[in-house]
Structure 1
Amino acid sequence: MTNPSPKTTTPTSDSPTQGGCPFGHGGESTGGASATSASTSANATQWHDAQLDFSKSMSYGDYLSLDPILNAQHPRSTDHNEMLFIIQHQTSELWMKLALYELQAARTAVHNDELPPAFKMLARVSRILEQLVQAWSVLATMTPSEYSSMRPSLGSSSGFQSYQYRILEFMLGNKNAAMLAPHSHRPDLYQQVEAALNAPSFYDEVVRLLARRDFAIAPERLERDWTKPTPHDTTVEAAWLEVYRNPSQHWELYEMAEELVDLEDAFRQWRFRHVTTVERIIGFKQGTGGTNGAPYLRKMLDVVLFPELWHVRTLL
């Protein structure tokens, strides 16, 4: 009596390749050199059913315009560390662009009494600021001697000349007409910064919201000089005090208040990491833009964006 021949099966598209995982990784091909050659040829045009030919369609790099972005770094020295300095600040500018995009949309939403979308946008801005905070940790890997080697290549350029940062500060209420001057050589940028100076800040729109919700806000606070820093106003503080004492009755305003505190908290952390990174790298040297460096940045730590929201905590 002879033993039956081993049962053979023909692999299907749903069965794993011999010796491999169910997803087709690590399978052993059969058929010798010719099969290997065929497999290699197939792999040149196919990989897990992904599209590999982008000669007639948009690729990842095309969509993101990676060529101009990745070729926008132009070190002015031969120092190895200058690339870090450039990319650190370029990526920060990209994050600020997104923060402004979200903050402007959130201000419009508040103006239109559409608060839930505004909450989502404000939360996103706070998370963007967290990314900016963490970015200082990368720059902090640069030592004083490394920075000193590349610093001459910076000339008089300085972060306080960032027009996006200035617009961001103006939108958050820290207005200062003198800070238009660094952009006077670029009429296109000057116009954008000036527009932010003359417009109500995000917090100004929130104060108007309080008035629309029947809180007794002083008329002079509702139509003030928008080019001035945010003032502390007793009628605004009284409104927030009522909101915090009765959150269930004013839930949307209560949530708005906490979103704003979260936002300013993140903004303060960004400023703090900035000054500590500067102190770590250059100590108390003068800044490249002519400021007195770290002492100037430390002074900025005392700026309060939403004064009533912080003071009301003492009254509760």
Structure 2
Amino acid sequence: MTIHQDPRAESAVVAPAPADYSTFLHLDALLAATEQVPDHPDGRFFVLVHQAFEVWFELIVHELVAARTALHADALPEALHRLRRVVAVDRLLVTQLDTLTTISPAGFAGLRPHLGTASGFQSVRYREIEYLSGLRGRGHAVVAPPGSAAAARLDRRLREPSLAETFRSLLHRHGVTDPVRLLHSGRPDSALLAVAEALLDHDEAWAMWRARHALAVERLIGHKPGTGGSAGVAYLRSRRDERFFPELWQWRTQL
């Protein structure tokens, strides 16, 4: 006996309930996490600004992973799309630092006791961006205690290839034995050259963020130690010349 299914039943898929703007973005849960620092007029502002940084950091991590996957698959247009998005966010973050300078030094001095030992130095996602990009010279025990989920996340990133390593492999697969010649060609249609420039844009924007961050902190606290136990501005200044892709900068000297 043959059972004939009503073809209309195939299209009778239950559609998800329409979500309004707030529900789609989970705004109630998101904004519930923006608790105000007690008894300080700049508390909510300070929390919101730093939460916004962390949301953007999370997006950068996502896009860097996607760019690395695309480079590994030789999908250069997709990699460029992802890297250009990263750079756009990088540059946004540089300008977002301007918001912190709307807190007066006296205002921050009153806010600082509420922060305890909390410090941007402890940002796991910030360190993840460094590891993914290619800067791996520092440990992360002070950021993520050994055995914690955060430490496991960072350990995994260290085991994975960085973007710098992935780009070197890409050049090798394409038979580029002298990257300086790639730069010298200056061909606007070269996808490899476009990827190299996009990586450098990311590196440059992050260097600008480090420099601008050091200035913003110096403007707020001078040369006091950081809340997380770092040396504060002295520590931030010591990292201003670090680069994700030092080879891309060195090739320019050899050009």
* Common fold: TM-score over 0.5: yes
Q: State the 4+ residue runs in structure 1 displaced beyond 4 angstroms.
A: none
Partner of 1:35: none
Compared with structure 1, are the counterparts of its residues 311 and 250 closer, same or farther at alpha carbon in structure 2 (3 Å cutoff)? Answer: farther
Residues of 2 paired with 1:176 and 1:245: CA distance?
A: 30
Change (3 A) 1:122 1:249: closer
AA in 1 matched with 2:244: L
Change (3 A) 1:254 1:100: same
User: Deviations along 1:133-178, whole A, 9 cap, x unmatched?
Assistant: 1111011110110001010111111101111111001111111452
Greater relative contact order, per chain length (Cα 8 Å cut-off, separation 6+):
2
Aligned with 1:68 (options 17, 20, 29): 29
Q: Percent identity?
A: 35
Residue 236 of structure 1 corresponds to which residue in structure 2?
A: none
**For residues 214 and 138 of structure 2, what CA distance do their matches in structure 1 show?**
23
Given that 2:63 and 2:82 are in contact with CA atoms closer than 8 Å, whether structure 1 keeps it comes out as: yes
Gaps of at least 5 residues in structure 2 are 1-16
Q: Normalization by structure 2: what TM-score?
A: 0.89
In structure 2, the residue matched to 1:100 is 61
1:247-258 aligned at under 5 Å gives the runs: 247-248=186-187, 251-258=190-197
> For residue 74 of structure 1, what is the amino acid of its counterpart?
E
1:214-293 equivalences under 5 Å are 214-216=175-177, 239-248=178-187, 251-293=190-232
**What amino acid maps onto 2:162 in structure 1?**
S
Answer yes or no: is the 8 Å Cα contact 1:84–1:139 preserved in 2. Answer: no
Task: Please name the residue that 2:3 is paired with.
Answer: none
Aligned ranges 1:50-65 → 2 under 5 Å: 57-65=18-26
Structure 2 counterpart of 1:17 = none
1:172 pairs with one of 130, 133, 157: 133
Q: How far apart, in 1, do the equivalents of 2:187 and 2:212 lie? A: 36
Question: 1:182 Cα deviation (Å)?
Answer: 2.5
Q: Distance in 1 between matches of 2:96 and 2:119?
A: 17
The one-letter code of the counterpart of 2:222 is G
In 1, are the aligned partners of 2:207 and 2:241 still within 8 Å (CA)? Answer: no
Q: Secondary structure at the match of 1:183?
A: coil
Structure 1 contact 177–197 (Cα < 8 Å) conserved: no
CA contact (8 A) 1:243 1:250 kept: no
Contact 2:91 2:205 in 1 (8 A): yes
CA contact (8 A) 1:158 1:289 kept: yes
In structure 2, how many angstroms separate the alpha carbons of the residues matched to 1:186 and 1:126? 33
Aligned residue in 2 for 1:48? none
- Report the secondary structure of 1:182's partner residue: coil
Per-residue displacement from partner, 1:241-291 (whole Å, max 9, x unpaired)?
010122439811111111111111111111111100000000000000001
- CA RMSD in angstroms comes to 1.6
| Equivalent-residue separation in structure 1 for 2:146 and 2:42 (angstroms) | 29
**Between Structure 1 and Structure 2, which shows a larger proportion of helix residues?**
2
Residues 1:307 and 1:185: Cα distance change in structure 2 (over 3 Å):
closer
Aligned residues: 239
Q: Structure 1 CA distance, aligned partners of 2:187 and 2:108?
A: 53
Shift of 1:215: 2.8
266 and 104 in structure 1: CA distance in 2 versus 1, 3 angstrom threshold = same
1:190 paired with 2:129, answer no
Q: In 1, are the aligned partners of 2:122 and 2:142 still within 8 Å (CA)?
A: no
Q: Secondary structure at the match of 2:98?
A: helix
Q: TM-score, normalised by structure 1?
A: 0.73
- Provide the C-alpha distance between the structure 2 equivalents of 1:85 and 1:188, rounded to a whole number of angstroms: 26
Residue 147 (str. 1) matches residue 147 (str. 2): no
Bigger-Rg structure (1/2)? 1
